[in-house]
Amino acid sequence: MAVHGISRNAHEHFCAFAPLANATNWILLAPLFDAGSFPDYQRLGRPGKGERADLALIVALSNLRGRLDLPQRPVYLFGHSGGAQFVHRFAMTHPGHVARYAISAPGWYTFPDDTLDYPYGLARPPTSFGALRPADFLKIPGIVFVGSGDCRDGRTLRRDAVVDAHQGDHRQERAMRWTGAMNARARAMGLVEPLRLKQLEDAAHSFSGLVRRGRLHEHVWKFLTVSGEAVA
């Protein structure tokens, strides 16, 4: 499954991954979370901020399984930018639904920090979300991609005192801090480090640029579909 960013470019994601899915006989989904119904999809859809994007996705998966007579098993997720925010929070909230995940260049993250309120950390998530349990979501293998040139400010990069102080000034720094924090929390709990971080050279933030210059789609597909395969 490939989840779009705030430009809602679901078709672009589908076109990037479709040849790989066809070649390997995988089923590819590229959901569209329209701005009218899902204005807060990056944070799953908090109370008063539109429909719950995570629950809508679970319903869509259930319907697809029923229509195609597919087994009930975890899925493989990718998201870019705003979609990467959705994917890592979906994995935290619904770990039983996720086999592994890859994300590229989210603007900011939910940290495995019990002292910060959601969506900055794990404390006090909306009641309807249930508890966010590190012992569950830290067992899911994941990878974070970021372009070597993705170190600039921009209108789509979230800036506030909490995020800047805790996560850093740009997407590269935030990716490094979050990956380090997730792996450190896993080690402290006696778990295997779940995350890798890979920088894609000569690429910045746009999905099309990361695909064209960094072969993002190929790296993602290899990590998600070849169990244990290293990403060169």
pLDDT (tens digit, 9 = 90+) per residue, 92-105? 999 999 999 999 99
Please check the confidence at residue 229 and state whether its pLDDT lies above 60: no
Exposed e or buried b for every residue in 84-94, given b needs 16+ CB within 10 A? bbbbbbbbbbb
Residue 221 gets which letter from DSSP? H
Instruction: Answer whether 196's CB lies under 8 Å from 143's CB.
Output: yes
Reported as a single tens digit per residue, the pLDDT across 199-211 is 998 888 899 999 9
- Which residues share a beta bridge with 196? 143
- Give the chain's count of helices (H) and strands (E): 8, 5
- Residue 10's SS3 state is helix
Of 152 and 164, more confident: 164
For 63, half-sphere exposure in the C-beta direction (CA atoms, 13 angstrom radius) is 7
User: Angle 207-214/216-225 helices, nearest 10 degrees?
Assistant: 80
